[in-house]
Structure 1
Amino acid sequence: MITRRGFLRLIGGSFLSMVSLGAYAVGVEPMLSTHVKRYFLTPPHWPAGLKLRVVALADVHACRPWMTPERIASLAAEANALQPDLIVLLGDYVAGMRLVTDQVPASEWASALSGLKAPLGVKAILGNHDWWHDPVAQRAGAGPTVARKALEGAGITVLENDAFRLEKDGHGFWLAGLADQLALLPGQGRAEAGGLDDLDGTLAKVSDNAPIILLAHEPDIFPKVPWRVSLTLSGHTHGGQVRLFGYSPVVPSAYGNRFAYGHVVENDRNLIVSGGLGFSIMPVRFGMRPEILQIDLG
């Protein structure tokens, strides 16, 4: 039988363990050196002679003290060091929570991202927070958002329901980018939240049979993505921010853990969901280090 002293020691030890885990999740893991998550795959109808390295950064959520312009610039240098052919940004550059010491203006985080360099360029899409925290765009129900203008001012191409043809080693491929699926909040005459994404219209801009890489901030679009698309890249979920044994208790997706994180293959269609770099709602990461994606195709 456990004694009163033993019981108090157990309670005290459990409390200290919880405090230590909480301190690690808030103060340590979010600030650890970035993990490079590598994927190697040949998706459907990918040309045999096309070897392509794509590096992806998602969910920067610029803010102080967690994701300063200096840290973003260092992430850009890490991405460049991977020697990518193409760099893609998967949205949510704007802070997604109030637990910050200061906001980072768009001009500053965009300037830090301007250090990204790749032979085939740097292409971006926007995320829900890039829309939600732009009151002018919310009132208008349309862009361009402050985030889009900042990225374009930094020399980064932004794709919103658009497709861009690229070529490497004599092989063409398409990079398509969706507008955000959760862009508009209720209000301003809108009873419900609404998206601005147009999957069919975006893919209609593809004018030949070359393979397609689709950028979609939220992975929830994936069940609608046709087999014609070789690979879909998404962010948004942050891998749940807390992930243990392949499971995340809370995932901002209608599909829960189905599209929470990692490489998903369904009906010979490929989706990769990044765990992202920053966080929203709470500054907590546990079992889900900040990460940059390196994807080698072919």
Structure 2
Amino acid sequence: MNKPISRRTFLKKSLGTLATLTGLGIGGNYYAHNLEPKWLETKHKIISHPLIPKGFHGMKMVQFSDTHLGFQFQLKDLQAIVNKINELDPDVILFTGDLMDQPNKYKAHQKIPLVLNELKAPLGKFSIYGNHDHGGYGSEIYSDIMEKSHFTMLKNTSAKITLLTAEEIIIAGVDDAMLGKPDFEKALFGIPKEVFTIMLSHAPDLADISRTYDIQYQISGHSHGGQVQIPFAGALVTPPYAEKYREGTYEIDSLTLHVNRGLGTTRLPYRFLSRPELTVYEFQAEK
């Protein structure tokens, strides 16, 4: 028979439980606000395909995305990322959109090129538009920053990466799906079928369009990996065009898609079970 619990004991246990839950809440808030947003993960991916020329074997690309400067991520954080990317010694650098959280309200945009110009990539630096880059009348602000930072802007266009051996691959990019006008036909115009082609799309769900073209690999951001993931329930928020493909690598017919979780935060200054990500891609030519 259970011994009756006294009112004093009940109150003591109840207060102890409340204190524990409060402590967990405070600790969880501190972790999600102060720790995980700065706990960078560097992911390494191998890109292997019969169309990759042998001269590209070992070539390295680094992708960074969704910095959202001015919200939680600041210039000092961008400088740290630039230093990290340079340590990785990439041949190519890709930025897949959402540089500033609110371009027309960010007061230090003239300082951004001073930082981004430190990035070193002998075979080129390429960028595309995200929805926040267009938002707040920011389209021209963003394009001006990236031009001054010596990035090639791919807005429904493509660029060749050509080696001294005359071997080449293609990097194409489409405009943002939410606030821009993505045009795959224009982006891919004139690209031969036998040339390995990478599509940069801020919105990962456009992979369902990429799969219908002669595109072998799509690289995206936008989702933040859900930014805050609730155990057993999933992402707290998934933005439009990142509802189907949220994070990680997917095989979709003959297309491979990788969705980078980004570096910054938006709307809520938290990350939980969705660490910021740099992605390193290394090419392997098939023998």
Q: TM-score range by the shorter chain?
A: 0.7 to 0.9
Is the 1:162–1:176 contact (alpha carbons within 8 Å) kept by the matching residues of 2?
A: yes
SS in 1 for 2:235: coil
Is the 1:230–1:269 contact (alpha carbons within 8 Å) kept by the matching residues of 2?
A: yes
Post-superposition Cα deviations, 1:233-288, rounded to whole Å, max 9, x if no partner, equal 001111111236794232114563x3110111111310001011001111101122
Aligned residue runs from structure 1 range 274-293, under 5 A: 274-293=260-279
Name the counterpart of 1:149: 144
**Amino acid of the residue matched to residue 182 of structure 2?**
D
Is the 1:62–1:104 contact (alpha carbons within 8 Å) kept by the matching residues of 2?
A: no
Query: Could you tell me how far apart the structure 1 residues matched to 2:154 and 2:192 are?
Result: 17
Name the counterpart of 1:92: 98
Is the 1:161–1:178 contact (alpha carbons within 8 Å) kept by the matching residues of 2?
A: yes
Name the counterpart of 1:200: 185
CA offset at residue 181 of structure 1?
1.1
Change (3 A) 1:104 1:95: farther
Query: Could you tell me how far apart the structure 2 residues matched to 1:248 and 1:254 are?
Result: 14
The answer to whether 1:27 aligns with 2:12 is no
The answer to whether 1:79 aligns with 2:85 is yes
Percent of paired sites with the same residue: 25
The answer to whether 1:261 aligns with 2:257 is no
* Runs of 5+ consecutive residues of structure 2 not aligned to the other structure: none
**Amino acid of the residue matched to residue 47 of structure 1?**
P
Query: Could you tell me how far apart the structure 2 residues matched to 1:244 and 1:53 are?
Result: 34
SS in 2 for 1:28: helix
SS in 2 for 1:259: coil
Query: Could you tell me how far apart the structure 1 residues matched to 2:242 and 2:143 are?
Result: 28
The answer to whether 1:249 aligns with 2:249 is no
Change (3 A) 1:20 1:110: same
CA offset at residue 87 of structure 1?
0.4
Of residues 4-13 and 263-272 in structure 1, the stretch that sits farther from structure 2 once superposed is: 4-13
Change (3 A) 1:44 1:15: farther
Residue 162 of structure 1 is aligned with which of 157, 164, 174? Answer: 157
Residue 63 of structure 2 is aligned with which of 44, 47, 56? Answer: 56
The answer to whether 1:45 aligns with 2:51 is yes
Instruction: Report the TM-score when normalising by structure 2.
Output: 0.87
The answer to whether 1:177 aligns with 2:173 is yes
Of structures 1 and 2, the larger Rg is shown by 2
* Runs of 5+ consecutive residues of structure 1 not aligned to the other structure: 138-142, 184-194
CA offset at residue 43 of structure 1?
3.8
Post-superposition Cα deviations, 1:187-245, rounded to whole Å, max 9, x if no partner, equal xxxxxxxx311012211242463111111011121101135211100011111112367
Is the 1:62–1:109 contact (alpha carbons within 8 Å) kept by the matching residues of 2?
A: no
Name the counterpart of 1:13: 20
Name the counterpart of 1:118: 121
**Amino acid of the residue matched to residue 63 of structure 1?**
G
What root-mean-square deviation, in Å, do the aligned CA atoms of Structure 1 and Structure 2 show?
2.3
Query: Could you tell me how far apart the structure 1 residues matched to 2:177 and 2:68 are?
Result: 18
Instruction: Report the TM-score when normalising by structure 1.
Output: 0.84
